[in-house]
Amino acid sequence: MESLDLRVLTDALQWQRAGHGVTLVTVVETWGSAPRPPGALLAVRDDGVVSGSVSGGCVEDDLIARVKAGERGADGLAAPAMIAYGVSKEEAARFGLPCGGTLRLVQEPLKDGNWVEQVLARTAAHELVSRTLTLSTGEVTLASATRDDTMHFDGLKLTTLFGPKWRLLLIGAGQLSQAVAQIAQLLDFEVLVCDPREEYSNTLGLTGATHLAGMPDDVVRELKPDAHTAIVALTHDPKLDDMALLEALRSDAFYVGALGSSRNQATRKKRLAEHFDLTEMELSRLHGPVGLRIGAKTPAEIAVSVVAQIVEVKNAVAAVPALTPLPQGEG
């Protein structure tokens, strides 16, 4: 469900449309210390060019060699098939799989790019899509999915999930926002920025980020934040931050954060509860002071802590107790 898989599909579709043979390879089962999880996707072009990974580099060379030799290319592979690596200690050592790890893969020729085009269009519209491949025929069917759905493989059919790209909405276009945006884009987040203040929006220097015009609360409402959306208020101006947070905390966004000291956050929560009737449960979703406690001081350091916390929540990693606080001003 990672956006990396969407990049793999984008590359595969471009190659197929350009007349290349393309083989898709999906990890379906792993044992031991396999470096890539089930669902990881690789595309191999007929000339050996690859996109994605199924083993972190351990078995890709063998797959490339076989595709270039015609064994597993679109011409040499009539229907999807199973392949296993690392079934013995000797083979695991040969392919560099750590600790005797084993991979079972499904490989398939990409003969019809229409389903890929549909997946890319539907995920771009922030839809979660399940894709079921019938191994005996190569038939592909698509359906809407929920976040409770999981990848499934029974030996006959393989169902994988493709989710929309993770996106990050920043309220504020100052120096800190620019640093957060740069790091988030490196992690393949779609970055959106809202700042109605002319002195900031007119000098918006966020390459690759999308500027959304309007007041923050209106922008959040119109965005319809889903479970792939993070929202961070960084203006340090209650008139802008609070209204955005009001909408964000009532949305499906998986992460909501706000800049400010602990004292500032306590005052903010009291204000939101008294004037906007936010519940205790809704207020508990607010990450503030925003970011992991790494003793960050500079905008770049605070940006690292902010994006790291977003990734932590996205990946549902347990938080590590902090030794030093993140000041973020005394507000």
Give the E-state strand segments of 32-128 in sequence order: 41-45, 50-52, 81-85, 102-109
Same-domain pairing of 182 and 254:
yes
| Residue 267 lies inside a defined structural domain of this protein | yes
- Which contacts of 180-184 are long-range, i.e. CB under 8 A and separated by 24 or more positions? 180/232, 180/234, 180/303, 180/306, 180/307, 181/206, 181/208, 181/209, 182/206, 182/303, 183/303, 183/304, 183/307, 184/307, 184/310
Q: Which residues contact 141 (CB under 8 A, 6 or more apart)?
A: 131, 132
Helices (H), the chain: 3-17, 60-68, 89-94, 114-124, 175-186, 198-201, 216-223, 238-249, 262-276, 280-283, 299-314
Say if residue 79's pLDDT is above 70. yes
323 occurs within a structural domain: no
How does residue 279 score in pLDDT terms, banded at 50, 70 and 90? confident
Q: Select from 145, 162, 179 the last residue of a domain.
A: 162
119 in the same domain as 33: yes
Is there a single domain that holds both residue 216 and residue 281? yes
Tokens describing residue 320: 């590590």
- Is residue 324 domain-resident? no
Look at residues 149, 150, 64 and name the one whose alpha carbon lies nearest to residue 107.
64
Strands 22-31 and 102-109: antiparallel
Domain closes at, from 162, 190, 209 = 162
In a domain, 299, yes or no: yes
Q: Tell me what pLDDT residue 237 has.
A: 87
Q: Is residue 215 part of a domain?
A: yes
pLDDT at position 323, please? 39
In a domain, 61, yes or no: yes
Integer angstrom CA distances of residue 153 from 150, 197, 297: 10, 52, 48
Is position 112 within any domain? yes
Instruction: Give Cβ neighbours of residue 119 (< 8 Å, ≥ 6 apart).
Output: 6, 9, 129, 131, 142, 162
pTM over 0.85? The answer is no
For residue 136, the enclosing domain spans 3-162
- Whether residues 222 and 282 share a domain: the answer is yes
Q: Are residues 121 and 175 in the same domain?
A: no
Average pLDDT over residues 125-144: 93
Residue of 163, 159, 165 lying closest to 131 (CA atoms): 159
Which residues, 6+ apart, have CB-to-CB distance to 275 below 8 Å?
Answer: none
Which one is predicted more confidently, 323 or 47? Answer: 47
183 and 228 inside one domain: yes
Specify if 203 maps to a domain. yes
Query: Residue 181's closest CA among 211, 155, 157?
Result: 211
Residue 57 — pLDDT band, cuts 50, 70, 90?
Answer: low
pLDDT confidence tier of residue 141, bands split at 50, 70 and 90? very high
- 215/234 same-domain check: yes
Given the structure tokens 């229907």, which residue do they identify? 79
For residues 158 and 171, state if they share a domain: no
**202 vs 28: which has the higher pLDDT:** 28
The answer to whether residues 42 and 181 belong to one domain is: no
Instruction: Please report the pLDDT score of residue 238 as a whole number.
Output: 87
Rounded CA gap, 310 and 287, in Å? 10
Q: What is the CATH number of the domain that holds 200?
A: 3.40.50.720
Cβ atoms of 111 and 81 within 8 Å: the answer is: no
pLDDT at 78 over 90: no
Q: Round to whole Å and give the CA distance between 70 and 78.
A: 11
List b or e across 79-112, with b for residues whose CB sees 16 or more CB atoms inside 10 angstroms.
ebeeeebbeeeeebeebbbeeebbbbbbbbbbee
- Which residues, at least 6 apart from 166, have a Cβ–Cβ distance to it below 8 Å? 3, 188, 189, 190, 228, 229, 230, 314
Query: Are residues 297 and 185 part of one domain?
Result: yes
Omega before 289 within 30 of 0, i.e. cis: yes
Residues 270, 224, single domain; the answer is yes
Q: What's residue 320's pLDDT?
A: 45
pLDDT of amino acid 319:
46
Taking residues 42-62, what's their average pLDDT?
A: 85
Averaged pLDDT for residues 292-300: 92
Q: Last residue of a domain, which of 144, 162, 180?
A: 162
pLDDT given at position 331? 44
Report whether pLDDT(230) > 70: yes
**Could you tell me if 142 and 249 lie in one domain?**
no
Q: Count the domains in the chain.
A: 2
